[in-house]
Structure 1
Amino acid sequence: MEDELEEIRRRKLLELQQKLEEEKLREQQRIQQRLQIKAILRQILTPEARARLANIRLANPAYASQIEALLIQLAQTGQIRERINDEQLKKILSRLGTTRKREFRIIRK
């Protein structure tokens, strides 16, 4: 009986250790991916444009991720030939902003 309990405890401990290792690996992959994104953005954006993107990330992280994905896609397909400055980023944002409108609903009771 006691051996069975010890075996169950050992299995549970092993499972927990495996889950912890998997989580550490996933976290390392997320960090590595984020570093790669930052490196690419550093190559294609001027410091001013990067600062603007950082401000957007503070206000709306999901929107900033969408912009980053778009910029990286443009860079990988060769549509970006030189570094994007702040004014060019503003133009890109304004084009994206026209498709992204917020809807407000007021419910009166």
Structure 2
Amino acid sequence: MSFDDRELEEIRKKKLMELQKRMEEERKAEELRKKQQLVKETILKSILTSEARARLANVKLVRPELAEQVENYLIALAQAGRIARPLTDAEVKEILARLAGETRREGRINIKERGW
């Protein structure tokens, strides 16, 4: 083996090791994400009725960012001990409406204020 061949072989080995390391990190990150999702689902299952969970799942199909916002809000309430019983569909509907209204207001541009 010539000097160039050995150099090339070393570069190949190094690249292969980097690729394997990156793949392992991605696998670990995916595993962590799945565990976090499982914990999230477990908490939501304990603080929402089945109808409320179904509503949230339907919202997630149409407005995933809103559903995520509501889920995080509910989990924070649960972790703070502010949810004593499972929330009903009507209660989740209220929370969705309130948070959806806040989201809409933030994105609105008032033309009169701009002078257009």
Tell me the TM-score normalized by structure 2: 0.85
**Match of residue 67 from structure 1:** 70
Give the Å deviation of 1:103.
3.4
2: CA distance between counterparts of 1:98 and 1:5? 60
What letter matches 1:9 in structure 2? R
Query: Is residue 100 of structure 1 aligned with residue 103 of structure 2?
Result: yes
Counterpart AA for 2:9: E
Match of 2:85 among 82, 85, 95: 82
Offset of 1:27 from its aligned partner?
A: 0.6
> 2:23 aligns to what?
20
Distance 1:84 1:55 in 2: 17
Partner of 2:13 in structure 1?
A: 10
- 2:34 aligns with 31
Bigger Rg, structure 1 or 2? 2
Taking the aligned partners of 1:54 and 1:47, their CA distance within structure 2 comes to 10
Aligned to 1:46: 49
Partner of 1:107: none
Please state how far the C-alpha of 1:71 moved relative to its aligned partner: 0.2
Please, which runs of 5 or more residues in structure 1 have no aligned partner? Answer: 105-109
- Unpaired stretches in structure 2, ≥5 consecutive residues: 110-116
Tell me the percent identity: 47
Give 4+ residue runs of structure 1 displaced > 3 Å after superposition. Answer: none
- Normalized per residue, which structure has more helix? 2
* TM-score, length basis structure 1: 0.90
* 8 Å CA contact retained: 2:45, 2:53: yes
Length, aligned pairs only: 104
